C-alpha cells in the first residue's frame, strides 16, 4: 500500500508521554527499524513541542505525537493516616483546549516549513479509567472518597477529549488529528461500551477488559494495535494533505428520446416470451403523446339555433361519444421540434390557498424526477454528530459575540469618558485644566526678556499680590 512506502521513505520520530515508552519497549519489528523515540512522563503541550525541536532533523519525514494527557491529568497525595499516603491521579479541573490548539497550529506550521512534504500525525488521547488506576494503588487500603473522585475525573476527561476535538476542528480545520479511541474501542462489538460515555456520571463508563493494563497505559495487545493504527494514520494524513487528481468522466452523446424509447421497446420485445395470441392496436394518424399542441376545428350550423336545442344535442352519458361528422380536422398548432417528447394527458386544477403556501419554487430539469430529502434512521452516531456540530457552531458564535462585546464596551467607555470631561465631572481633569491655564497666563503676562515674539497686548495684565496690597495701604493713608 501507499503508506507502507511512506513509512520506509525516511526516519520516523515518535514523541510523547509514557505511552511512547510502551511502544519502544514492545516494538513492531516490521515498523520500528527506522523509528526514533523520545518521551517524558506527563509531558505538557509546550514541553512536547520543545522535545520534538531538540530531536528533529531533516531525515525525519514523519512525526507522530502522542500526548495531551498531562495537560488534564495531575498527581496528588492521598493520606490515609499520618504514616500512610499514596499517590493517585485526578483531573486538573481546567480547560487547556484553547492553549493546545494554538500550540498545535504554531508547531505544525513551523515543522512543515522546515521540510516540504513532511507528514505530521497528531493523536488525541483515548478515555482514561481513573478508578482502575487509583484502585491498583490502594490495594488493601480504605478507599474512602477516592472512588467518587475517580468517577468525576473520568467524566471530566471524556468532556475534555470532546472539547478538544470540537475546538480543533473549528480552529485547525486543515490539520488532521487521529483519535486513539478507535484503538480502545475497535469494531462494532465495542459500540455499546463507547456509547456508555454519553452518560452523566463516570460510574457507568464501561472500558474494555483486555486492552488497558492499569487504566492508563496500553497492555501488549493494545500496543500491537497502536502500531498498526499509527501505520494506517500516516496514509490517512498523506491522502488528506495531498491534492486529489480529478478524473473526468467520458462524455457520452445522448440520442433523442425517441430513439431511446425505440431501443428500449425493441430490447423489451427480445426478452418477452412469444405469445400465441396478441391483440394488435390500430394505427393512429396523429399520436397525441408526441404532439401535445393541437387545435380542434368544429363545424357550426349556419342557422341560429336556440340554447335549449344546443344543450339537448350534447351527450347525456359518458358512453356516448361525439360523431365523426362533428370533428372536421385536427391541425397541429405548434411544431418546433418538441414533438419527440412525451407529455401524456395533461390536466389543470385550481390550487387552494393552503397549497400555494406550501408550494415549492424549485423545479427539476426535464427528464428527471424531483424527490424529497432522504430520510435517515435515528442512531447514536448521528445524534452525537449533530450535537458535536451544534456545539462547535455555538462555541464559534459565542467567541464572536464576546469579541463584539469587548469592542463595543471599549467604545462606550471612551465616549462616556469624553462626555464626563466635557461636563467637568472629573475633578482631576478640572484641576489640571485650571493649572495649565494659570501657567500659560503667567507665561504670557511676564514673558522672558529673550523672547522675540511677544503678544504685547497681553503683557502686565495681572498685578502681583504685593503691589495690590501696597496700593490699598497708600490710598487709605
DSSP 381-401: HHHHHHHHHHHHHHHHHHHHH
Of 217, 241, 265, the one marking the end of a domain is 241
Calpha distance 385→186 (Å, rounded): 19
Residue 343 belongs to a domain: no
Residue 470 belongs to a domain: no
What are the pLDDT digits (tens) for 410-448? Answer: 889 988 888 888 888 888 888 888 888 888 777 777 777
Residue 30 belongs to a domain: yes
What are the pLDDT digits (tens) for 391-402? Answer: 989 989 998 999
- For the whole model, what pTM was predicted? 0.52
Residue 395 belongs to a domain: yes
Mean pLDDT of 184-199: 83
Overall domain count for the chain: 2
> In this structure, is the dihedral angle defined by the CA atoms of residues 101, 107, 111 and 112, taken in order, positive or negative?
positive
What are the pLDDT digits (tens) for 264-288? Answer: 555 544 544 554 444 555 555 545 4
Domain that holds residue 423: 391-447
What are the pLDDT digits (tens) for 61-116? Answer: 999 999 999 999 999 988 888 888 889 999 998 889 999 999 999 999 999 999 88
> In this structure, is the dihedral angle defined by the CA atoms of residues 386, 388, 394 and 397, taken in order, positive or negative?
negative
Of 177, 208, 241, the one marking the end of a domain is 241
Residue 59 belongs to a domain: yes
Residue 372 belongs to a domain: no
The enclosing domain of 153 has a CATH number of: 3.40.50.1110
**Is the CB of residue 39 less than 8 Å from the CB of residue 15?**
yes
**Is the CB of residue 39 less than 8 Å from the CB of residue 273?**
no
Query: Does pLDDT of 22 surpass 80?
Result: yes
What are the pLDDT digits (tens) for 192-239? Answer: 888 888 877 888 888 888 899 989 999 999 999 999 999 999 999 998
What are the pLDDT digits (tens) for 139-169? Answer: 778 777 888 899 999 999 999 999 999 999 9
pLDDT band at 295 (very low <50, low <70, confident <90, very high): low
DSSP 208-272: -TTTBSSSSSB-HHHHHHHHHHHHHHHHHHHHHHSPPPPPPPPP-PPPPHHHHHHHHHHHHHHHS
Residue 249 belongs to a domain: no
Query: Does pLDDT of 338 surpass 50?
Result: no
Helix or strand (DSSP H, E) at 421: helix 380-422
Name the phi and psi angles at 63, rounded to 5.
Answer: -120, 130
Calpha distance 197→191 (Å, rounded): 10
Residue 48 belongs to a domain: yes
Average pLDDT over the chain, rounded to an integer: 76
What are the pLDDT digits (tens) for 107-126? Answer: 999 999 998 889 999 999 99
Of 185, 211, 241, the one marking the end of a domain is 241
Which residue, chain included where needed, has cell 499517590? 87
Amino acid at each position: 500500500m501507499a503508506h507502507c512506502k511512506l513509512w520506509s521513505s525516511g526516519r520516523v520520530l515518535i514523541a510523547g508521554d509514557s505511552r511512547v515508552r510502551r511502544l519502544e519497549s514492545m516494538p513492531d519489528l516490521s515498523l520500528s527499524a527506522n523509528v526514533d523515540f523520545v518521551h517524558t512522563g506527563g509531558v505538557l503541550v509546550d514541553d512536547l513541542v520543545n522535545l520534538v525541536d531538540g530531536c528533529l532533523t531533516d531525515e525525519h519525514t514523519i512525526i507522530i505525537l502522542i500526548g495531551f494527557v498531562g495537560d488534564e491529568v495531575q498527581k496528588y497525595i492521598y493520606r490515609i493516616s499520618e504514616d500512610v499516603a499514596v499517590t493517585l491521579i485526578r483531573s486538573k479541573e481546567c480547560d487547556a483546549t484553547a492553549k493546545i490548539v494554538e500550540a498545535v497550529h504554531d508547531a505544525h506550521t513551523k515543522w512543515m516549513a522546515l521540510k516540504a512534504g513532511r507528514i505530521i500525525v497528531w493523536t488525541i488521547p483515548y478515555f482514561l479509567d481513573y478508578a482502575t488506576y487509583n484502585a491498583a494503588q490502594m490495594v488493601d487500603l480504605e478507599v474512602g472518597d477516592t472512588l467518587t473522585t475517580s468517577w468525576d475525573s473520568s467524566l471530566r476527561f471524556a468532556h475534555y477529549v470532546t472539547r478538544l476535538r470540537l475546538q480543533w476542528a473549528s480552529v485547525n480545520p486543515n490539520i488532521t488529528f487521529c483519535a486513539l479511541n478507535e484503538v480502545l474501542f475497535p469494531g462494532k462489538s465495542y459500540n455499546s461500551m463507547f456509547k456508555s460515555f454519553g452518560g452523566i456520571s463516570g460510574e457507568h463508563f464501561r472500558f474494555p477488559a483486555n486492552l488497558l493494563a492499569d487504566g492508563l497505559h496500553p497492555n501488549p495487545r493494545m500496543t500491537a494495535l497502536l502500531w498498526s493504527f499509527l501505520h494506517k494514520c500516516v496514509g490517512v494524513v498523506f491522502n488528506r494533505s495531498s491534492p486529489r487528481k480529478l478524473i473526468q468522466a467520458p462524455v457520452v452523446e445522448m440520442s433523442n428520446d425517441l430513439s431511446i424509447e425505440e431501443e428500449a421497446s425493441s430490447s423489451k420485445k427480445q426478452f418477452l416470451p412469444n405469445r400465441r395470441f396478441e391483440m394488435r392496436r390500430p394505427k393512429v394518424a396523429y399520436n397525441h403523446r408526441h404532439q401535445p399542441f393541437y387545435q380542434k376545428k368544429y363545424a357550426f350550423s349556419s342557422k341560429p339555433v336556440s340554447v335549449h336545442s344546443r344543450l339537448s344535442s350534447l351527450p347525456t352519458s359518458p358512453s356516448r361519444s361525439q360523431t365523426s361528422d362533428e370533428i372536421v380536422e385536427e391541425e397541429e398548432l405548434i411544431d418546433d421540434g418538441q414533438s419527440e417528447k412525451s407529455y401524456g394527458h395533461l390536466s389543470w386544477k385550481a390550487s387552494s390557498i393552503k397549497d400555494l403556501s406550501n408550494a415549492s419554487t424549485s423545479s427539476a430539469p426535464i427528464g428527471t424526477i424531483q424527490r424529497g430529502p432522504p430520510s435517515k434512521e435515528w442512531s447514536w452516531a448521528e445524534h452525537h454528530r449533530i450535537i458535536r456540530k451544534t456545539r462547535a457552531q455555538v462555541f464559534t458564535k459565542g467567541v464572536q459575540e464576546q469579541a463584539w462585546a469587548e469592542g463595543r464596551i471599549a467604545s462606550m467607555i471612551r465616549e462616556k469618558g469624553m462626555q464626563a470631561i466635557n461636563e467637568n465631572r472629573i475633578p482631576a481633569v478640572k484641576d489640571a485644566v485650571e493649572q495649565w491655564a494659570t501657567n500659560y497666563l503667567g507665561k504670557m503676562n511676564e514673558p522672558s526678556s529673550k523672547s522675540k515674539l511677544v503678544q504685547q497686548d497681553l503683557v502686565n495684565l495681572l498685578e502681583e499680590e504685593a503691589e495690590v496690597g501696597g496700593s490699598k495701604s497708600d490710598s487709605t493713608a
